[in-house]
Amino acid sequence: MPAVFLAAALPFVVSPILLLFRRPDRRAGLLSAAACAGAFACFVSVALGASPATVALPWIGPLGLSFSLHADPLALFFALLITGVGFLVAAFATSYLDSNENFPRFFSFLMLFTGSMLGVVLSSNLMALFVFWEMTSFSSFLLIGFWHHRERSRYGALKALVVTGSGGLAMLLGFIMVGIVCGSFEIAVLAERGALLAANPWATPAVLLIIAGVLTKSAQLPFHLWLPSAMEAPTPVSAFLHAATMVKAGLFMVARLGPLLSVVPLWTPTLALFGLLTMTWCGWLALRQKDLKALLAFSTVSQLGLILVLLAPAEPDTTAAGLLHLLNHACFKGALFLLVGVLEHELHTRDLSLMGPLRRNMPFTWLLIALAALSMAGVPPMGGFVSKELFLDHLLNGHPLLALLAVAGAVLTAAYCFALAAGLAAGRRPDGPRGQDPSLSLLLPPALLVAATVGLGIFPDQLVGAPVAAATLAATGSSVTGHFAVWHGAGPSLWTSAFAVSMGLALWWGWWQKRVPPASTLIADRVYDHALEQLETRARRLTASYMSGILWRYCSVILLTVIVGVAVVAASQGFVIQDGWSSRHAGPWDLAVCATAILAALATLKARTRLAAILALGASGFSLALMFALSAAPDLALTQIMVETISVPLFLAVFAFLPPYQVDRVRRARPLHAVLAVAAGLGTALLLAASRSQRVAEPISSFFVEKSVDAAGGHNVVNVILVDFRALDTLGEITVLGVAAIACYAIIKLLSEKEAGR
């Protein structure tokens, strides 16, 4: 079995197994960590070329869909990141969660997520990719709502699912469009068909839909609302999903599809603009948070914006820088989340304004936080410095307004990083809660991540130069020109960087220390809440108003639809009604019978008892029979008389079971009913006239008249039809009438027996 397949399947296999563990069993966590480590090892073997990188599994043949996995260097870069961070987080969570938590469930969800995320990066088919993409949203929903007894958790889980799920579906639509335009869903094939896409008018809407998917998943403006709410998840989840991996799926998509989609001119500027705006605005929001996790959430959104700007152009140098920062961010932000988890565990609060002086009480924890924060701020010689340098380099060559935004973002980032590092050192309250450094098992995973980000700062090229270059080559198709280094020489980017850090320091010292204006509710949040609420009330109102359960209303709707339909056709096309549509002219008898039928029908409406109504209805039926007789159709007349005769006793028989007759119940609706009735009658007459005007075949009667003597030897055509030409029909009719008569007899007999029984 190929190592790629093994690694991708491992989490999915482990996930259900974990559910078999009993509740307070920490071994579930160890098994998860082992699975991550195993997958990591498999990917390493693939990266070293020891195992084939492609596996194909057929799925829906007729639709051209497959579950193929293709581990190119870009996919491997992400896969190693996912399994590596996954291992550390699983190890951390094993000792972090309280012993009364439901370990099997937590780790089962976590493995489900890991597998889905690996599926996203490894899939070589857009549809399969989408499948895993939505599975990450769903497993994120489960993990955010892990403490489902908390109202806020449920709210956050639902919000994350609604936002990312909807974005995913928009993306699916974009995928389908791209797939149809380019004739394939295989990413490798698509990459060569950019020209097809560029020439097609559907390219722009398709790209916009895919962008919607990217922005929702990576929580970019204006969809940044879900990430802060998702912070209700247990902290290891926040570190893994909402800092290191899942939110990067959107960025992965940009790296993966960038070369194809950037043929559409809209792609790069749209993404870059949203990225920059998010970076700056959410940096500002992060500065105003008191809750440590909220601060980190907004800072994550802001940093993701930065990476998005770098990946958007789909050029080798910026892509390499973007990937480097992505790796950096996974390290320092993952570490920060884990460390905040430690703080919460020890101090039982996440409020920045309630913390005691950490430097004295929890020196190691504080040191790690400070190092990670400095890396995020872009202070040399940390990893964050290297990639931020490249970022500024890229933007300073661009539009001055964008450059200004970028610098503002960098300043704000530095400010909240100092708030985090230095603010916690002294603490706002000397008498705040005191904790202790936790055990090694809790400190080691974040420490490793911090060590990684420091290492990335000092030896960036030696550590990740080759993999990043390979991933860039795989993503963009061309090689990187430069290489990573801490010291790029004293250029404009260095000065800007120095300016940003010092301004950030000033902002923190001069202003944040004194008074922080607390952030108000997000506008996007209010829109979301309002929309959801409106949707629910509207739906309820709609249902209540027309699903009344009242039969005549339902009938009216059906009738109205049909009448309107007929009227529209009649008005737009015009019925052809020829003069001779009627076979004969109405004589005085016809008029008299018609008048009787109409009067009887009116009497039915006005009747005060059921019996009267039925009798009146019968009168109109018998008038119809007369009409048939006058039109020289004695067979029809007889049938009609028969039906009328049989139905009256049936009516009478069931009256016994019906509630008292109420005529006035629907008085208000009478005008409507009158209109409907008149319209239905007129429409029917119109239709009849129109269909008779458009005879396409000889009337069948001429055939019968011609053949009756020859073929059947009868001179009475009606008789011949009944007993000869249509003999089987007649037999059938007799049978039906016979059965109906038996049923009538049975009902009446049962009734009289019941009466007698009383």
Partner 1 sequence: MNPLPLNLLPPGADYAAVMPLLWAFAAAVLVLIAEMFWPYRSRRGVGWLTIAALLAIAVLGRAPSEAVYFGPIALDGFSGWCNGLLCLVAALSVLMSLDTLEVNGVTRGEYYPLLLFAVAGGMVMAAATDLVVMFLGLETMSMAVYVLAGMGKARRRSNEASLKYFLLGAFASAFMLYGIALLYSQAGSTDLAAMAGLAGEGGTSAVTRLGAALLLVGFGFKIAAVPFHLWAPDVYEGAPSPVTAFMATVVKAAAFAALLRSVLLAMPWVAGELQTPLWVAAAATMTVGNLAALRQRSLKRMLAFSSVAHTGYLAMAVVAGTSEAAAALLFYLAAYAAMNLGAFAVMMLLADRGRPAENISDLAGLGRARPLAALAMTVCMLSLTGIPPLGGFVAKVSLFGAVLDAGFYTLVVVAVLNSVLSAAYYLGVIRAMYFDDADSVAAGGASAASRVLPSRPALTVSILLAALAVVLIGLSPSPLLGSSLRALASVAGF
Among 93, 120, 177, 616, contact with partner 1 (rule: CB under 8 A): 177
Site for partner 1 in 178-237 (CB under 8 A): 180, 202
Among 48, 401, 656, 697, contact with partner 1 (rule: CB under 8 A): 697
Mask for 418-457, x = binds partner 1 (CB under 8 A): ----------------------------------------
Q: For residue 727, what are the CA distances in angstroms to 151, 632, 671, 718, 720?
A: 75, 21, 47, 12, 9
- Closer residue to partner 1, CB minimum distance, 494 or 570: 570
**C-alpha dihedral (158, 162, 168, 169), degrees to nearest 10:** 130
The interface region with partner 1, picked from 95-103, 263-271, 607-615, 693-701 by CB under 8 A, is 693-701
Q: How many other CB atoms are found less than 10 A from the CB of residue 280?
A: 24
**Residue 170 in contact with partner 1, rule: CB under 8 A:** yes
Helices (H), 607-633: 610-630
CA–CA dist 630, 593 (Å, integer): 10
CA–CA dist 6, 186 (Å, integer): 22
Among 45, 54, 102, 166, contact with partner 1 (rule: CB under 8 A): 166
Residue 150 beta carbon to partner 1: minimum distance, rounded to whole angstroms: 10
**Residue 754 in contact with partner 1, rule: CB under 8 A:** no
- Closer residue to partner 1, CB minimum distance, 127 or 301: 127
**Residue 288 in contact with partner 1, rule: CB under 8 A:** no
215, β-bridge pairs: none
Among 14, 80, 135, 339, contact with partner 1 (rule: CB under 8 A): 135
The interface region with partner 1, picked from 348-356, 487-495, 570-578, 639-647 by CB under 8 A, is 570-578
**Residue 131 in contact with partner 1, rule: CB under 8 A:** yes
> If we measure between CA atoms, which residue out of 382, 526, 368, 371 comes closest to residue 446?
368
**Residue 610 in contact with partner 1, rule: CB under 8 A:** no
384 and 303 in contact (C-beta within 8 Å)? no
The pair of structure tokens assigned to 543 is: 């249902």
**Residue 691 in contact with partner 1, rule: CB under 8 A:** yes
Binding-residue total with partner 1 (CB under 8 A): 69
- Closer residue to partner 1, CB minimum distance, 222 or 467: 222
List Cβ neighbours of 109 (8 Å cut-off, separation of 6 or more). 15, 139, 142, 143, 146
> If we measure between CA atoms, which residue out of 638, 636, 603 comes closest to residue 617?
603
619 and 596 in contact (C-beta within 8 Å)? yes
Helix axes 73-96, 27-47, angle to 10 degrees: 160
H or E element: which one contains 651?
helix 634-655
107 and 29 in contact (C-beta within 8 Å)? yes
**Residue 707 in contact with partner 1, rule: CB under 8 A:** yes
Residue 353 beta carbon to partner 1: minimum distance, rounded to whole angstroms: 32
Among 436, 694, 716, 752, contact with partner 1 (rule: CB under 8 A): 694
Site for partner 1 in 538-557 (CB under 8 A): 538-540, 542-543, 546-547, 549, 551, 553-555, 557
Residue 435 beta carbon to partner 1: minimum distance, rounded to whole angstroms: 30
Q: What angle do CA 470, 119, 465 make, to 5 degrees?
A: 20
**Residue 565 in contact with partner 1, rule: CB under 8 A:** yes
Q: What 8-state DSSP symbol labels residue 65?
A: E
Q: Which amino acid is at 493?
A: S
Number of residues in the chain: 758
The pair of structure tokens assigned to 87 is: 């291992």
**Residue 148 in contact with partner 1, rule: CB under 8 A:** yes
**Residue 162 in contact with partner 1, rule: CB under 8 A:** yes
Residues that bind partner 1 (CB under 8 A): 58-63, 65, 127, 130-131, 134-135, 138, 141, 145, 148-149, 154, 158, 161-162, 165-166, 169-170, 172-173, 176-177, 180, 202, 535-536, 538-540, 542-543, 546-547, 549, 551, 553-555, 557-558, 561-562, 565-566, 569-570, 573-576, 687, 690-692, 694-697, 707, 710-711, 728
